[in-house]
Each structure stands twice: as structure tokens, then as C-alpha cells.
């Protein structure tokens, strides 16, 4: 994909009224040219509807995060603009279909000063796109791809071959090597062709390694050993010759990263079309690896692009001001690691707001992992990202 992002730098004059009258639910609280009150009544949140109109809308957030969220202190021109200034292609986010009815969320998602790229979180996965063999459904993926195209955001495809969220027919089947090769080729070809020309990159193979650096014993590996990776990459390249092909996941240096390093080296040696490696980066606040930059660098040295593809930094709830300050530092360090290596092309956070993060459902008691809180208010982490790109 070669279309260029046009990034509008908005100069915004902030009229801060010293005495903030409280706006009631549904009242206007902001927007271009608005000089009235900007503080919403308790229980409601000033929510951007569009550039000209913000409205007090009842917040659905739990009070734990927002009560302790000291908020962002910077007046910022947005994360995408910060990333571009640092020489990166994009700052992006994952999103999903259920929250597309949340107007305030969609307005933020569509703000190209903040996000130059979006990644569908679930709707392109195998169970979503080919629930029955040979029968493809693209509706949910189309919704998100069309939004990105309309917004002039780069869309990252996620993901073609992964051991999770597979349909039963595939996972429970008994396949010969020839059959499974054809299944991978048919799936990859059909899905990549469907969105050909509209995507910037595809995560072709996701999470091929165990933590210890051995190959994950997925249905693909069981039948085809490491062959399945090049099979998928080649089919994807044939279906959309321009799209960037990625393979991941790793964070800092370690056995898993070494496994990935050897794989990429090997793929390049056999001429398989691999363009990039994703540093997944589902991290824990206070224990972010210090070797992320060194890790990015070693892949850059192999001649592939690197992207941070699923960044979030979780903490034990409830969030406190001290924990949010630590998280700010953590975000800053991760972003800086990408900034410092030219081949690191962009960063994707795994959704925008704590309201829609996957973390609490998978790691009970953990959360508050994203730069916007449950009321879509910027957290200190937001400033950390800006500082990391500075
Ligand atoms: C988009 O984000 C930027 C940066 O935070 C902000 O200044 C601007 O007001 C936002 N635009 C809209 C339309 O909300």
C-alpha cells in the first residue's frame, strides 16, 4: 500500500473560562467556537460528538479509575502527529465491532490527529471469516476496513494463521500435510484478496512460539512443522503483492525472541516474503523489559520493518495516582524504544480506552492498561507516549 496519510495539523485555541458553570446532561460543553461552560454535571462526561459540538453524556465508567486518574497535563496535537514528527508512519489502535455504536468512542477513533491506523481486533480472525469450510463472512471486517478507508487511516489486517480462535471444523479435523496446505492457501488467498488494495499490512502468522522459544504445537505445526509459515506468507503475497507481511510475537530479548530471530533469518534465506516483525507488547506496568530497543534493533538488522502491534500496559486494580505515574514512564520507555530505531515504523495500542480493554476479562483484577480511561479522559500514559516520541 502506498497511499500517503494526509495529516491535518489543527491549531486549537482553548478558551478556558475561569468560573466553570456546570453543564447538565445533554447540554453543550465544548466545540469549535464554544465559549460557554465546559464542566459537566456529576455523572456525565463532556464527550466530543464532532469538531463543533461536545455534549455532556452520562458516563458508564466505574468510578475507581476516573477518581484516581490525575489526567493528562499536556495540551497535545495528538499521538499520530507526535509519531509522524518522530519519523514514524503511524500511531494506531485496535478496535472492534461492538463499540462502533459508541459515538464518543468512534469520534475519538476517527480523529486522525490521534490515530493514523486501525487494526480490527477480532473480525478478521479465522473463526470470524471462515466459520464453515469454504464459506466466508466479511461483514464485520468490512465495517472496520471501510471506516479506516473513509478516515484515511492505514488498516492493518489481523490475523491469518494463529492457533487461537480457529473454527471447530479446522481444529478438530484430521488433516494430511497436503490437505492442510490447501486449507491454509485457500483461506489466506480468499481473505487477503477480499481486502486487497485496502490494507497497509497483514499479520500473516501470529504467535508461532511458546515462551521458551520452541515452536507452538498448534494444529499447523503438528501437521506441517515450520513449513506452514512460508506457505501462508507466499499465499498472502500472491493475493496482494503490495501488502506488508508480518509475523510475531515477542517483547524483549529472550528465548522466544531468539526463536523468532532465527525464523526470520531462515525465511529471508529461503526467499519467503516477510516484510516485518511485530513486537506484540502486552506488558505489565513496573516490569517492562529493558531490552525492547535492543530487540527491535536485532530485527531491523535483518532488514525487516518492525512495529509494536498490540501495546497495552496493565496494572493491578484499582489504579492509583502512583500506579498511573509508573505506567506513564512505562509507555514513554516503550515508545522511545520504537522512536530510536528507524525500522520501527509504527505503534498500535490494543484499543483506546480502559472501557473496552480485553485485559480485565482475561486477567481478573488487572486492567487500566490503556492511555484513555473509562470516561475517555486522557491518562498520564498519554503524556508518556507524547514524551516518548519527543
Ligand atoms: C483530535 O485530537 C486532537 C489532539 O488531541 C485534538 O486537539 C482535537 O480537538 C481532536 N479533534 C476532534 C474533532 O475531536
How is the chain split into domains, by residue range? Answer: 79-389
User: What pLDDT shows up at residue 60?
Assistant: 44
| Ligand 1 neighbourhood includes 74 CB (under 6 angstroms) | no
Residue range 342-384, pLDDT digits in tens: 999 999 999 999 999 999 999 999 999 999 999 999 999 999 9
| Ligand 1 neighbourhood includes 383 CB (under 6 angstroms) | no
Question: 3-state SS of 17-56?
Answer: CCCCCEECCCCEEECCCCCCCCEECCCEEEEEEECCEEEE
User: What pLDDT shows up at residue 55?
Assistant: 74
CB within 8 A of 236, min separation 6: which ones? 160, 188, 192, 202, 204, 243, 245, 273
Which parts of the chain sit beneath pLDDT 50?
1-20, 60-66
User: What pLDDT shows up at residue 46?
Assistant: 74
Full-model pTM: 0.82
User: What pLDDT shows up at residue 25?
Assistant: 73
The Å distance, Cα 101 to ligand 1 centre, comes to 20
User: What pLDDT shows up at residue 21?
Assistant: 55
Residue range 35-88, pLDDT digits in tens: 777 777 877 777 665 556 677 777 643 334 445 789 888 767 999 999 999 999
User: What pLDDT shows up at residue 11?
Assistant: 23
227 is catalytic: no
Which residues does residue 306 pair with via DSSP β-bridges, in sequence order?
A: 277, 344
**Which CATH homologous superfamily contains domain 79-389?**
Glycosidases (3.20.20.80)
Q: Which atom of ligand 1 is nearest the CA belonging to 12?
A: 7
| Ligand 1 neighbourhood includes 21 CB (under 6 angstroms) | no
Amino acid at each position: 500500500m502506498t497511499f500517503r496519510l494526509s495529516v491535518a495539523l489543527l491549531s486549537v485555541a482553548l478558551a478556558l473560562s475561569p468560573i466553570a458553570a456546570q453543564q447538565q446532561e445533554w447540554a453543550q460543553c465544548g466545540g469549535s467556537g464554544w465559549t460557554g461552560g465546559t464542566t459537566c454535571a456529576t455523572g456525565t462526561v463532556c464527550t466530543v460528538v464532532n469538531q463543533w459540538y461536545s455534549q455532556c453524556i452520562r458516563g458508564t465508567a466505574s468510578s475507581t479509575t476516573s477518581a484516581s486518574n490525575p489526567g493528562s497535563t499536556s495540551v497535545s496535537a495528538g499521538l499520530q502527529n507526535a509519531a509522524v514528527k518522530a519519523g514514524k508512519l503511524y500511531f494506531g489502535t485496535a478496535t472492534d465491532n461492538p463499540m462502533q455504536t459508541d459515538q464518543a468512542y468512534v469520534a475519538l477513533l476517527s480523529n486522525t490527529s490521534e490515530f493514523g491506523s486501525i487494526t480490527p481486533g477480532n473480525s478478521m480472525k479465522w473463526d470470524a471469516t471462515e466459520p464453515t469450510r469454504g464459506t466466508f463472512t466479511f461483514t464485520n471486517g468490512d465495517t472496520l476496513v471501510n471506516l479506516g478507508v473513509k478516515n484515511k487511516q492505514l488498516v492493518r489486517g489481523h490475523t491469518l494463521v494463529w492457533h487461537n480462535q480457529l473454527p471447530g471444523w479446522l481444529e478438530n479435523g484430521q488433516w494430511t500435510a497436503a490437505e492442510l496446505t490447501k486449507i491454509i492457501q485457500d483461506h489466506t488467498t480468499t481473505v487477503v484478496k477480499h481486502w486487497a488494495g485496502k490494507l497497509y499490512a497483514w499479520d500473516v502468522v501470529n504467535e508461532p512460539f511458546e515462551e521458551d522459544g520452541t515452536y507452538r504445537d498448534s494444529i499447523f505445526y503438528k501437521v506441517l512443522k515450520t513449513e506452514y509459515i512460508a506457505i501462508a506468507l507466499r499465499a498472502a503475497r500472491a493475493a496482494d503483492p503490495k501488502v506488508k507481511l508480518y509475523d510475531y510475537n515477542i517483547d524483549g530479548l529472550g528465548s522466544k525472541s531468539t526463536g523468532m530471530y532465527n525464523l526470520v533469518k531462515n525465511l529471508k534465506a529461503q526467499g519467503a516474503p516477510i516484510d516485518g516483525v511485530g513486537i506484540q507488547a502486552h506488558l505489565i506496568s513496573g516490569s517492562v523489559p529493558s531490552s525492547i530497543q535492543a530487540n527491535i534493533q536485532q530485527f531491523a538488522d535483518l532488514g525487516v520493518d518492525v512495529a509494536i502491534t498490540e501495546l497495552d500496559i496493565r496494572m493491578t486494580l484499582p489504579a492509583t495516582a502512583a500506579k498511573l505515574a509508573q505506567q506513564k514512564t512505562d509507555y514513554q520507555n516503550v515508545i522511545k524504544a520504537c522512536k530510536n530505531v528507524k525500522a520501527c515504523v509504527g505503534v498500535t495500542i490494543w484499543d483506546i480506552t480502559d472501557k473496552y480493554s480485553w485485559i480485565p476479562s482475561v486477567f481478573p483484577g488487572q486492567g487500566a492498561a490503556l492511555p484513555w480511561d473509562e470516561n475517555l479522559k486522557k491518562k498520564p500514559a498519554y503524556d508518556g507516549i507524547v514524551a516518548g516520541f519527543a
